[in-house]
Amino acid sequence: MTEKRLTTNNNTVENMVLQISKNSPTLYDLNEDQLRKLAEIVVTQNLTEELNLKSKLANINYKMERDIFLLQVSMTGSESTQYSYYRSLRLLENYTKKNGFNILQISPRQIDDFIYGISGSPNTKNLIISGISSFYSYMERRYSVIRNPVRGTKSRPKKKTVKEIEVPDEIEVFTILNSLPELEKMVVSIMCYRGLRIGSLKNMKITGNRYKTVSKGKMIYGEFPIEAITNINNKITFENMTTNSLKLRIYRQTMKLFKEGKIRSAYSCHDFRHFFAVTEYMKDKDIYRVSKLLDHCNISITESYLRSLKIEL
């Protein structure tokens, strides 16, 4: 009995829908007065929706939200990462101000035009785009009226083929360390023999052979091995130096040695962290131990890291 009643009700609804669709007028069926009234209704609805949207956007404090976003980035990323996000948003702010756009309401077309106008290498452009996209994704989660205009863009430049990673060998590390000024020697020693990130040096405190610092927003402690201790001067601090300036100083020194034919390549700071990872893994092939030493959040990152260095796991 119940099944029969449900079937009857369903048939009734379908018949009603069919009847409404057949009898609903089209625009061609309306006279001039009816069309005018319909147009007024549509315009009124559109204006109401537009006013509601502008009202909701006006209640969003962009500068405050931007500062909170950058603060969160600084807690989970390095100094250079934070600067990259800040620079990306500043570029977009200047663009929207120049063109009279609301940065919270910028359209996909407008963001595409902005991306096409970014100067620099593909890697630089992609870094800027990623920073902006991350901010809009953050805002999208906080406000229902915000949409990420970067999502799905076709104007993102293609990435160039990544240069094969080169890791210095022990002889090259010895050559480099014996050629560096005291500060640069200390940096390379810490990275080669303890594998810390370059961004962790700024906040580093050293007492004897022990250190404490902040890396990726997390406090870390440890001891330096004897290989590093011999090149560490406790009186040297990095608090007044930026991460980028340290990177540049190291790269210039290795470039000089490379041009003199003393080493195979101009190595970056991260290449010395690669040296540490390879050296430690080859000792006992304990990937879990190496992952902990590198301060990776999970083992899969360490696996990808070592594979990129052409290490068979």
pLDDT digits (tens, 9 = 90+) for 73-93: 766 556 667 788 899 999 999
Highest mean pLDDT among 14-18, 27-31, 159-163, 170-174: 170-174
pLDDT in tens, 240-271: 888 888 999 999 999 999 999 999 999 999 89
Task: Show Cβ contacts of residue 139 under 8 Å, excluding neighbours closer than 6 positions.
Answer: 65, 69, 104, 146, 148
On whether both 54 and 88 belong to a single domain, the answer is yes
Domain hosting 221: range is 170-308
Question: Is residue 107 assigned to a domain?
Answer: yes
The model carries a pTM of 0.55
On whether both 182 and 235 belong to a single domain, the answer is yes
Q: Count of domains in the chain?
A: 2
**Distance in angstroms (rounded) separating the CA atoms of residues 206 and 212:** 7
On whether both 175 and 294 belong to a single domain, the answer is yes
Q: Which of 116, 136, 157 is the last residue of a domain?
A: 157
On whether both 185 and 110 belong to a single domain, the answer is no
Query: Do residues 173 and 192 touch, judged by C-beta distance below 8 A?
Result: yes
On whether both 178 and 282 belong to a single domain, the answer is yes
Question: Is residue 24 assigned to a domain?
Answer: no
The CATH number covering residue 227 comes to 1.10.443.10
Angle at CA of residue 275, ends 274 and 277, nearest 5°? 60
pLDDT in tens, 107-138: 999 999 999 888 877 878 888 898 899 999 99
Question: Is residue 243 assigned to a domain?
Answer: yes
On whether both 184 and 287 belong to a single domain, the answer is yes
On whether both 180 and 118 belong to a single domain, the answer is no
For CA atoms 122, 123, 124, 126, the dihedral sign is positive
Number of helices (H), then strands (E), belonging to the chain: the values are 13, 3
Q: Which of 157, 192, 218 is the last residue of a domain?
A: 157
On whether both 123 and 247 belong to a single domain, the answer is no
Task: Show Cβ contacts of residue 124 under 8 Å, excluding neighbours closer than 6 positions.
Answer: 118
On whether both 204 and 273 belong to a single domain, the answer is yes
pLDDT in tens, 177-220: 999 999 999 999 999 999 999 988 988 998 888 999 988 778 88
Task: Show Cβ contacts of residue 119 under 8 Å, excluding neighbours closer than 6 positions.
Answer: none
The CATH number covering residue 150 comes to 1.10.150.130
On whether both 227 and 268 belong to a single domain, the answer is yes
CB neighbour burial string for 274-295, b if at least 16 within 10 angstroms, e if fewer: bbbbbbbbeeeeebeebbebbe
On whether both 191 and 65 belong to a single domain, the answer is no
For CA atoms 220, 221, 224, 229, the dihedral sign is positive
* Average model confidence (pLDDT) across the chain: 82
- Beta-carbon neighbour count of residue 192 at 10 Å? 23
Q: Torsion angle of alpha carbons 42, 43, 44, 49, nearest 10°?
A: 90
On whether both 140 and 235 belong to a single domain, the answer is no
Return the closest-CA partner of residue 138 out of 68, 231, 233, 225. Answer: 68
Query: Do residues 114 and 136 touch, judged by C-beta distance below 8 A?
Result: no
**Distance in angstroms (rounded) separating the CA atoms of residues 272 and 81:** 20
**Distance in angstroms (rounded) separating the CA atoms of residues 66 and 246:** 28
Across the range 220-245, mean pLDDT stands at 87
